[in-house]
Amino acid sequence: KQEVTQIPAALSVPEGENLVLNCSFTDSAIYNLQWFRQDPGKGLTSLLLIQSSQREQTSGRLNASLDKSSGRSTLYIAASQPGDSATYLCAVTGANNLFFGTGTRLTVIP
Amino acid sequence: DAGVIQSPRHEVTEMGQEVTLRCKPISGHNSLFWYRQTMMRGLELLIYFNNNVPIDDSGMPEDRFSAKMPNASFSTLKIQPSEPRDSAVYFCASSFAQGARDEQFFGPGTRLTVL
């Protein structure tokens, strides 16, 4: 069974800093990988989706990379802002299922 | 578009009672997913539908759980009888895809507490 791990579990950074969140998965036979953001008490918001044939995707200050062979993905956030504070989850898609990591709780300190 | 709509947002019930959670997917989407989120187990896929047909229900924990999708704009997740260990946040998501392979859009969730 696919296992998805996110490190670190929690991260605090000062405003303006660039940061990287990590996601690793055990089975490289994936269709895509998706990064989500979850605010406390709220649902998940899709940030970026990378197809298995792609290496990276960018949206504004966010850049996600995928190395399928090594089972790794990173989410890079540039010039972090207090509004970026949330839990970030990665999810990998198998044949008929979506496997989530446990998330990284990010706090950006003003 | 209003996004995925779930109701109720919060539900508190007593053990043994029947609970019904509702979901309206984004108009035009043909896949619908039910997830459960707990602190211990994180997010787990319970079941998903494609074109109103259940495709994979292997994540449904027990026979006490059932899900239906009578039409393209409505789905229910029912727990009967409910137990305290069912307490969790239940999310519904939808996508325009065949299967689980494309971008999913999540509803705000239903926080269920079973006393």
- Residue B95 in this model has a pLDDT that exceeds 80: yes
Residue B101 pLDDT class (50, 70, 90 cuts)? low
Q: Which residues in chain A are closer than 8 Å to B104, comparing Cβ atoms?
A: 34, 46, 98
Residue B114 pLDDT class (50, 70, 90 cuts)? very high
Residue B72: partners with Cβ closer than 8 Å, 6 or more residues away: B25, B30, B51, B52
- Residue B50 in this model has a pLDDT that exceeds 80: yes
Q: Chain B: nearest CA to A11, how far in angstroms?
A: 18
Q: What average pLDDT is seen over chain B?
A: 91
Closest residue in chain B to residue A49, using alpha carbons only: B103
Residue B111: partners with Cβ closer than 8 Å, 6 or more residues away: A41, B9, B10, B11, B89
Of B59, B100, B109, the CB nearest to A43: B109
Residue A83 pLDDT class (50, 70, 90 cuts)? very high
Q: pLDDT of A8-45, one tens digit each?
A: 999 999 999 999 999 999 999 898 999 999 998 888 99
Q: What is the DSSP letter of B25?
A: P
Higher pLDDT, B102 or A37: A37
Q: Which residues in chain A are closer than 8 Å to B53, comparing Cβ atoms?
A: none
Q: Chain A: nearest CA to B14, how far in angstroms?
A: 22
Q: Would an 8 Å CB–CB cutoff place A9 in contact with chain B?
A: no
pLDDT of B9: 94
Q: Which residues in chain B are closer than 8 Å to A33, comparing Cβ atoms?
A: none
Contact A89 B43 (CB under 8 A): yes
Say how many CB pairs under 8 Å bridge A and B: 51
Q: Chain B: nearest CA to A36, how far in angstroms?
A: 10
Of B42, B48, B104, the CB nearest to A46: B104
Phi/psi for A31 (5° steps) reads -90, -40
Query: Which residue's entry shows tokens 């727990």?
Result: B79
pLDDT of B68: 96
Higher pLDDT, B2 or B93: B93
pLDDT of A43: 85
Query: Which residue's entry shows tokens 């779930």?
Result: B6
Q: Which residues in chain A are closer than 8 Å to B91, comparing Cβ atoms?
A: 43-44
> Which run of H or E residues covers position B94?
strand B88-95
Lowest mean pLDDT among B1-15, B63-77, B92-106: B92-106
Quickly count helices (H) and strands (E) in chain A: 0, 11
- Residue A96 in this model has a pLDDT that exceeds 70: no
- Residue B21 in this model has a pLDDT that exceeds 60: yes
> Which run of H or E residues covers position B98?
none
Residue B22 pLDDT class (50, 70, 90 cuts)? very high
